[in-house]
Structure 1
């Protein structure tokens, strides 16, 4: 007789009801690795910046001040966050598609957006820039 066609995997999870719905609970000793998770605020801020950029390019708002009034936020905050729409394409690809973990906060990411594109990856991901 040959090898079995199926593999049995045991995953120690518990099923609990929460608000009338089943919820899968991880084991009590499970600790998620914080160094392997991307900050969700970064993706949200990038998405918001691109939405604002599109609205400005469509002519809905003429200035950052008009945009800030339209979204009911401080002009300084909107101007700072809007920089994220101008990150280097390679940095955006690594953040949005590959979901790579950054070495910076959202505030530091907005500050790095003013750097030349070749330097941004080094700052954002904590690596040396490679010029080829």
Structure 2
């Protein structure tokens, strides 16, 4: 293999993106129209897992109150109550979150806000 010219010392590559804050950390976002790779939000997935684990612990009778369980877990009962609310999400929304298809706008802080309990009213609330 032969080269027709000298190898340049510097190569400049332009990649359009913007930096946005998401869940307390900075993230690169591609411009609109460019297909974004699917990426699960590990914070949101972890919160869902904790919520369903706590629900099972309460339903098993091992703990009788949220306050008792929260004390054992070392967190505030008010936070645990908000996270437990995630167990009321529609199954299709939970699936979207686990598959990383919930959209960039849907974060844990949005998921912890009050939302409609009727499954058919949840998707519009979260802009899904």
User: What is the aligned-residue RMSD (CA, Å)?
Assistant: 2.4
Q: Which runs of no fewer than 5 residues in structure 1 stay unpaired? A: 1-27, 128-132
Q: Which runs of no fewer than 5 residues in structure 2 stay unpaired? A: 1-12, 18-26, 31-35
Residue pairs, 1:1-132, within 5 angstroms? 34=29, 36=36, 37-96=39-98, 98-102=99-103, 103-124=105-126, 126-127=127-128
With normalisation by structure 2, the TM-score equals 0.64
Which structure would you say has the larger RCO, counting Cα contacts within 8 Å and 6 or more residues apart? 2
Residues 28-71 of structure 1 show CA distances to partners (whole Å, capped at 9, x for unaligned) of 87778536434221001000101101111111111111111110
With normalisation by structure 1, the TM-score equals 0.63
Retained in 1: the 8 A contact 2:115–2:125? no
- 1:112–1:92: structure 2 CA closer, same or farther, 3 Å change rule? farther
Moved over 6 A (4+): 28-32
Q: 1: distance between equivalents of 2:87 and 2:117? A: 13
